[in-house]
Protein backbone atom coordinates (compact mmCIF):
# COMPACT_ATOMS: atom_id res chain seq x y z
CA UNK A 1 0.00 0.00 0.00
CA UNK A 2 1.46 3.33 -1.04
CA UNK A 3 -0.56 5.37 1.42
CA UNK A 4 0.39 7.35 4.49
CA UNK A 5 -1.79 5.30 6.80
CA UNK A 6 -4.65 2.83 6.77
CA UNK A 7 -6.95 5.80 7.38
CA UNK A 8 -5.95 7.42 4.09
CA UNK A 9 -6.14 4.08 2.33
CA UNK A 10 -9.73 3.44 3.44
CA UNK A 11 -10.95 6.85 2.29
CA UNK A 12 -9.13 6.73 -1.05
CA UNK A 13 -10.30 3.16 -1.68
CA UNK A 14 -13.90 4.16 -1.00
CA UNK A 15 -13.63 7.16 -3.30
CA UNK A 16 -12.06 5.15 -6.12
CA UNK A 17 -14.80 2.57 -5.81
CA UNK A 18 -12.93 -0.69 -5.15
CA UNK A 19 -14.00 -0.71 -1.52
CA UNK A 20 -17.72 -0.83 -0.83
CA UNK A 21 -18.96 1.78 1.57
CA UNK A 22 -22.20 1.57 3.41
CA UNK A 23 -24.54 4.27 4.66
CA UNK A 24 -26.81 3.26 7.48
CA UNK A 25 -28.93 6.35 7.07
CA UNK A 26 -29.68 5.70 3.40
CA UNK A 27 -30.12 1.92 3.82
CA UNK A 28 -28.05 1.13 0.75
CA UNK A 29 -24.61 1.25 -0.77
CA UNK A 30 -23.78 4.68 -2.14
CA UNK A 31 -20.85 6.33 -3.84
CA UNK A 32 -18.89 7.76 -0.99
CA UNK A 33 -17.37 10.52 -3.11
CA UNK A 34 -20.77 11.92 -4.09
CA UNK A 35 -22.13 11.60 -0.56
CA UNK A 36 -19.21 13.38 1.02
CA UNK A 37 -19.23 16.14 -1.59
CA UNK A 38 -22.97 16.67 -1.11
CA UNK A 39 -22.59 16.94 2.62
CA UNK A 40 -19.80 19.47 2.23
CA UNK A 41 -16.75 17.37 3.15
CA UNK A 42 -13.60 18.35 1.28
CA UNK A 43 -10.27 16.67 0.68
CA UNK A 44 -9.13 17.56 4.17
CA UNK A 45 -11.81 15.28 5.68
CA UNK A 46 -13.51 18.26 7.23
CA UNK A 47 -16.79 20.01 6.51
CA UNK A 48 -15.42 23.53 7.00
CA UNK A 49 -14.21 25.08 3.74
CA UNK A 50 -12.32 27.98 5.21
CA UNK A 51 -10.24 27.74 8.30
CA UNK A 52 -8.54 30.56 10.13
CA UNK A 53 -5.96 30.76 12.85
CA UNK A 54 -5.82 33.49 15.44
CA UNK A 55 -3.40 35.71 13.51
CA UNK A 56 -5.44 35.85 10.32
CA UNK A 57 -8.69 36.14 12.22
CA UNK A 58 -7.39 39.29 13.86
CA UNK A 59 -6.48 40.71 10.47
CA UNK A 60 -9.95 39.95 9.18
CA UNK A 61 -8.83 37.40 6.59
CA UNK A 62 -9.80 33.80 6.17
CA UNK A 63 -7.93 31.29 4.08
CA UNK A 64 -7.95 27.57 3.62
CA UNK A 65 -5.60 25.89 6.05
CA UNK A 66 -7.25 22.77 7.34
CA UNK A 67 -4.29 20.52 6.69
CA UNK A 68 -3.33 20.43 10.34
CA UNK A 69 -6.76 19.02 11.14
CA UNK A 70 -6.31 16.32 8.53
CA UNK A 71 -3.09 15.23 10.18
CA UNK A 72 -4.55 15.39 13.66
CA UNK A 73 -7.32 12.89 12.95
CA UNK A 74 -6.33 9.41 11.86
CA UNK A 75 -8.91 7.41 13.72
CA UNK A 76 -10.71 4.34 12.50
CA UNK A 77 -13.80 3.29 14.43
CA UNK A 78 -14.18 -0.48 14.61
CA UNK A 79 -17.19 -2.43 15.82
CA UNK A 80 -15.90 -5.67 17.21
CA UNK A 81 -17.02 -8.71 19.13
CA UNK A 82 -14.92 -10.15 21.94
CA UNK A 83 -15.55 -13.77 22.74
CA UNK A 84 -14.01 -16.75 24.48
CA UNK A 85 -13.84 -19.79 22.23
CA UNK A 86 -11.85 -22.99 22.69
CA UNK A 87 -10.08 -21.62 25.80
CA UNK A 88 -8.84 -18.51 23.98
CA UNK A 89 -9.91 -14.91 23.98
CA UNK A 90 -10.65 -13.92 20.41
CA UNK A 91 -11.86 -10.83 18.65
CA UNK A 92 -13.68 -10.33 15.39
CA UNK A 93 -14.12 -6.96 13.74
CA UNK A 94 -17.54 -6.68 12.15
CA UNK A 95 -17.42 -3.30 10.48
CA UNK A 96 -15.12 -0.29 10.31
CA UNK A 97 -15.58 3.37 9.58
CA UNK A 98 -13.35 6.40 9.16
CA UNK A 99 -13.85 9.39 11.39
CA UNK A 100 -14.52 12.82 9.91
CA UNK A 101 -14.24 16.17 11.63
CA UNK A 102 -17.51 17.98 12.32
CA UNK A 103 -17.23 21.77 12.54
CA UNK A 104 -19.60 24.66 12.68
CA UNK A 105 -19.36 27.52 10.22
CA UNK A 106 -18.08 29.66 13.03
CA UNK A 107 -14.96 27.45 13.20
CA UNK A 108 -15.91 25.61 16.36
CA UNK A 109 -14.92 21.99 16.40
CA UNK A 110 -17.77 19.85 17.65
CA UNK A 111 -15.94 16.54 17.43
CA UNK A 112 -15.85 13.72 14.96
CA UNK A 113 -18.35 11.33 13.45
CA UNK A 114 -18.40 8.30 11.18
CA UNK A 115 -19.78 9.17 7.74
CA UNK A 116 -19.48 5.79 6.07
CA UNK A 117 -18.95 2.19 7.05
CA UNK A 118 -16.80 -0.28 5.16
CA UNK A 119 -14.78 -3.49 5.65
CA UNK A 120 -17.82 -5.61 6.45
CA UNK A 121 -16.67 -8.98 7.73
CA UNK A 122 -19.25 -11.52 6.64
CA UNK A 123 -17.18 -14.60 7.41
CA UNK A 124 -17.43 -16.41 10.69
CA UNK A 125 -13.89 -17.77 10.43
CA UNK A 126 -11.02 -15.54 11.49
CA UNK A 127 -8.24 -17.44 9.77
CA UNK A 128 -7.25 -16.16 6.36
CA UNK A 129 -5.78 -18.07 3.47
CA UNK A 130 -2.08 -17.96 2.65
CA UNK A 131 -2.66 -16.20 -0.67
CA UNK A 132 -4.14 -13.11 0.97
CA UNK A 133 -2.08 -9.95 1.23
CA UNK A 134 -1.91 -8.94 4.87
CA UNK A 135 -0.35 -5.88 6.49
CA UNK A 136 0.41 -5.53 10.18
CA UNK A 137 -0.94 -2.27 11.60
CA UNK A 138 0.02 -1.98 15.26
CA UNK A 139 -0.39 -3.50 18.70
CA UNK A 140 -2.94 -1.80 20.91
CA UNK A 141 -3.40 -2.10 24.66
CA UNK A 142 -6.90 -1.64 25.95
CA UNK A 143 -8.35 -1.72 29.44
CA UNK A 144 -11.81 -3.17 30.02
CA UNK A 145 -13.34 -2.78 33.45
CA UNK A 146 -14.90 -5.76 35.15
CA UNK A 147 -18.22 -3.97 35.53
CA UNK A 148 -18.24 -2.35 32.11
CA UNK A 149 -20.83 -4.75 30.71
CA UNK A 150 -23.32 -3.36 33.22
CA UNK A 151 -22.85 0.07 31.70
CA UNK A 152 -22.98 1.28 28.16
CA UNK A 153 -19.52 0.43 26.89
CA UNK A 154 -19.94 -3.28 26.29
CA UNK A 155 -23.14 -4.86 25.01
CA UNK A 156 -23.25 -8.39 26.29
CA UNK A 157 -24.40 -11.09 23.89
CA UNK A 158 -23.75 -14.25 25.85
CA UNK A 159 -22.82 -15.08 29.39
CA UNK A 160 -22.12 -18.20 31.39
CA UNK A 161 -23.80 -18.27 34.84
CA UNK A 162 -23.80 -14.47 34.97
CA UNK A 163 -20.00 -14.23 35.08
CA UNK A 164 -18.20 -11.29 33.51
CA UNK A 165 -15.25 -11.49 31.12
CA UNK A 166 -12.50 -11.75 33.74
CA UNK A 167 -14.28 -14.33 35.84
CA UNK A 168 -15.03 -16.46 32.78
CA UNK A 169 -11.35 -16.34 31.81
CA UNK A 170 -10.36 -17.25 35.36
CA UNK A 171 -12.79 -20.16 35.38
CA UNK A 172 -11.32 -21.35 32.08
CA UNK A 173 -7.80 -21.25 33.60
CA UNK A 174 -8.85 -23.84 36.17
CA UNK A 175 -9.08 -26.39 33.34
CA UNK A 176 -5.33 -26.02 32.71
CA UNK A 177 -5.28 -25.12 29.04
CA UNK A 178 -3.41 -21.82 29.46
CA UNK A 179 -0.61 -20.50 31.65
CA UNK A 180 -1.09 -17.77 34.21
CA UNK A 181 1.75 -15.89 35.89
CA UNK A 182 1.53 -14.05 39.21
CA UNK A 183 3.61 -10.92 38.60
CA UNK A 184 3.98 -10.09 42.30
CA UNK A 185 5.51 -13.40 43.34
CA UNK A 186 6.82 -14.28 39.85
CA UNK A 187 5.43 -17.80 39.95
CA UNK A 188 3.17 -19.80 37.69
CA UNK A 189 -0.13 -20.67 39.36
CA UNK A 190 -1.15 -24.34 39.10
CA UNK A 191 -4.59 -24.98 37.67
CA UNK A 192 -5.74 -26.70 40.87
CA UNK A 193 -5.13 -23.54 42.95
CA UNK A 194 -6.91 -21.11 40.67
CA UNK A 195 -10.23 -20.82 42.49
CA UNK A 196 -8.93 -20.13 46.01
CA UNK A 197 -5.75 -18.27 45.06
CA UNK A 198 -5.25 -15.51 47.62
CA UNK A 199 -2.64 -13.25 49.18
CA UNK A 200 -0.97 -13.88 52.53
CA UNK A 201 -0.79 -11.01 55.03
CA UNK A 202 1.02 -10.63 58.34
CA UNK A 203 -1.25 -9.85 61.28
CA UNK A 204 0.27 -8.75 64.61
CA UNK A 205 -0.45 -10.74 67.77
CA UNK A 206 -0.93 -8.83 71.03
CA UNK A 207 -0.62 -10.00 74.61
CA UNK A 208 -2.92 -8.98 77.48
CA UNK A 209 -1.02 -5.70 78.03
CA UNK A 210 -1.39 -4.64 74.41
CA UNK A 211 2.19 -5.20 73.32
CA UNK A 212 2.84 -6.96 70.08
CA UNK A 213 4.60 -10.23 70.60
CA UNK A 214 4.81 -11.43 67.02
CA UNK A 215 3.07 -11.93 63.74
CA UNK A 216 0.94 -14.63 62.21
CA UNK A 217 0.25 -15.18 58.53
CA UNK A 218 -3.35 -15.08 57.41
CA UNK A 219 -4.87 -15.62 53.98
CA UNK A 220 -7.05 -12.96 52.40
CA UNK A 221 -10.24 -13.60 50.50
CA UNK A 222 -9.70 -15.22 47.11
CA UNK A 223 -8.49 -12.61 44.64
CA UNK A 224 -11.16 -13.78 42.22
CA UNK A 225 -13.68 -11.48 43.92
CA UNK A 226 -11.57 -8.34 43.62
CA UNK A 227 -10.52 -8.30 39.95
CA UNK A 228 -10.95 -4.77 38.69
CA UNK A 229 -10.02 -4.62 35.02
CA UNK A 230 -8.53 -6.53 32.11
CA UNK A 231 -5.78 -5.27 29.83
CA UNK A 232 -5.79 -6.75 26.34
CA UNK A 233 -2.89 -6.73 23.89
CA UNK A 234 -4.34 -6.78 20.38
CA UNK A 235 -2.21 -7.25 17.26
CA UNK A 236 -4.13 -5.58 14.45
CA UNK A 237 -3.86 -6.68 10.83
CA UNK A 238 -5.55 -5.58 7.63
CA UNK A 239 -6.34 -8.06 4.89
CA UNK A 240 -5.96 -6.20 1.59
CA UNK A 241 -7.40 -9.03 -0.50
CA UNK A 242 -10.62 -9.43 1.46
CA UNK A 243 -10.73 -5.84 2.79
CA UNK A 244 -11.32 -6.77 6.40
CA UNK A 245 -9.66 -5.96 9.71
CA UNK A 246 -8.75 -8.76 12.05
CA UNK A 247 -6.75 -9.04 15.25
CA UNK A 248 -5.01 -11.64 17.37
CA UNK A 249 -4.83 -11.68 21.14
CA UNK A 250 -1.80 -13.43 22.57
CA UNK A 251 -1.81 -12.28 26.17
CA UNK A 252 -3.93 -10.35 28.64
CA UNK A 253 -3.29 -8.73 32.02
CA UNK A 254 -5.59 -8.91 35.02
CA UNK A 255 -5.60 -5.96 37.41
CA UNK A 256 -6.35 -6.56 41.09
CA UNK A 257 -5.86 -4.56 44.28
CA UNK A 258 -2.61 -5.64 45.87
CA UNK A 259 -1.31 -4.90 49.35
CA UNK A 260 2.00 -3.09 48.96
CA UNK A 261 2.97 -3.35 52.62
CA UNK A 262 2.72 -6.61 54.46
CA UNK A 263 0.53 -5.11 57.18
CA UNK A 264 -2.47 -5.27 54.90
CA UNK A 265 -2.82 -1.54 54.27
CA UNK A 266 -1.91 0.56 51.22
CA UNK A 267 -3.90 -1.35 48.66
CA UNK A 268 -2.99 -0.36 45.15
CA UNK A 269 -4.80 -1.43 42.01
CA UNK A 270 -2.04 -2.75 39.79
CA UNK A 271 -1.20 -5.29 37.14
CA UNK A 272 -1.24 -8.61 38.97
CA UNK A 273 -1.65 -11.59 36.60
CA UNK A 274 -0.58 -12.27 33.06
CA UNK A 275 -2.37 -14.92 30.99
CA UNK A 276 -0.53 -16.31 27.97
CA UNK A 277 -2.72 -18.11 25.46
CA UNK A 278 -1.07 -21.21 24.05
Partner 1 sequence: MKKLLFIPIFFIALNAYSQESENNTAINKNAYTQLPNEYSYFINDSNISWAASYNTNYSY
- Provide the binding-site residues for partner 1, judged by CB under 8 A: 5-7, 22, 27-29, 74-86, 92, 94-95, 99, 120-124, 137-138, 140, 142, 149, 153-160, 163, 165, 168, 172, 236
Nearest approach in angstroms of CB 94 to partner 1 is 6
Comparing CB distances to partner 1, the nearer of 88 and 184 is: 88
CA distance between the termini of the chain? 32
Angstrom distance (rounded) from CA 168 to CA 252: 13
Could you give the angle at the alpha carbon of 245 between the alpha carbons of 115 and 234, nearest 5°?
115
Nearest approach in angstroms of CB 77 to partner 1 is 5
Strand partners, 117: 22, 97
Q: Tell me the CB-side half-sphere exposure of residue 17, using CA atoms within 13 A.
A: 2
Comparing CB distances to partner 1, the nearer of 82 and 102 is: 82
Comparing CB distances to partner 1, the nearer of 102 and 154 is: 154
By the 8 A CB rule, do 244 and 119 touch?
Answer: yes
Comparing CB distances to partner 1, the nearer of 72 and 266 is: 72
By the 8 A CB rule, do 163 and 230 touch?
Answer: no
Comparing CB distances to partner 1, the nearer of 75 and 263 is: 75
Angstrom distance (rounded) from CA 133 to CA 122: 18
By the 8 A CB rule, do 135 and 237 touch?
Answer: yes
* 3-state SS assignment for residue 149: helix
By the 8 A CB rule, do 106 and 200 touch?
Answer: no
Strand partners, 216: 203
Nearest approach in angstroms of CB 254 to partner 1 is 15
Nearest approach in angstroms of CB 277 to partner 1 is 15
Q: How many CB atoms lie within 10 A of CB 143?
A: 12
**Total residues found in the chain within this entry:** 278
Comparing CB distances to partner 1, the nearer of 21 and 199 is: 21
Strand partners, 101: 46, 112
Comparing CB distances to partner 1, the nearer of 79 and 262 is: 79
By the 8 A CB rule, do 191 and 174 touch?
Answer: yes
Comparing CB distances to partner 1, the nearer of 154 and 259 is: 154
Rg (CA), the chain: 26
Amino acid sequence: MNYASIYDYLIQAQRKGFLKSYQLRLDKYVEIDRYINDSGYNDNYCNAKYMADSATLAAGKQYQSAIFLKDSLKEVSIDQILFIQDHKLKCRSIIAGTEYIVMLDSIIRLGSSVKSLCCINTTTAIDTSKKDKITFLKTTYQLINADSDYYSKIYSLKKMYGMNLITTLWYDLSKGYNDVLDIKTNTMIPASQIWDYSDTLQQPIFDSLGDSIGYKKIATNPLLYSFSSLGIYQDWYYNITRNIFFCKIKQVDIYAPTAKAEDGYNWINEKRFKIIFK
